[in-house]
Amino acid sequence: MDEMQRKEIAVDIGKRLSEYRKKAGFRSQTDLAEYMNCSRTRIAYWEAGRRTPDIFDIIQLAEILKVSPAILCGFRKQ
């Protein structure tokens, strides 16, 4: 997998994270960050595709947002 493919995956995960965050009722990145006890910048980086959440964060996000990790990562559609 080359760098361009990695970037595309990160951006896709970020878009889905933003979508499901809003659907779950978290109106802002700050709301989700406070719920997860992490920084808003961390959420912002994930949503912008600048970084990708690790597997433990994916699992936690999936539980909080009430969506499967496979959907959040783009392996399945809801």
Q: Is residue 59 part of a domain?
A: yes
The pLDDT mean for the chain works out to 95
> Encoding tokens for residue 15?
């878009």
Q: Is residue 56 part of a domain?
A: yes
We report the CATH number of the domain holding residue 64 as 1.10.260.40
Q: Is residue 24 part of a domain?
A: yes
Residue 3 to residue 29: CA distance in whole angstroms: 26
State the total domains in the chain.
1
Over residues 23-55, the pLDDT tens digits come to: 999 999 999 999 999 999 999 999 999 999 999
Q: Is residue 78 part of a domain?
A: no
Could you tell me the pTM of the whole model? Answer: 0.91
Reported as half-sphere exposure (CB side, CA atoms, 13 A), residue 50 has a value of 6
Q: What is the three-state SS of 8-61?
A: HHHHHHHHHHHHHHHHCCCCCHHHHHHHHCCCHHHHHHHHHCCCCCCHHHHHHH
Give the structural domain span for 66. Answer: 3-71
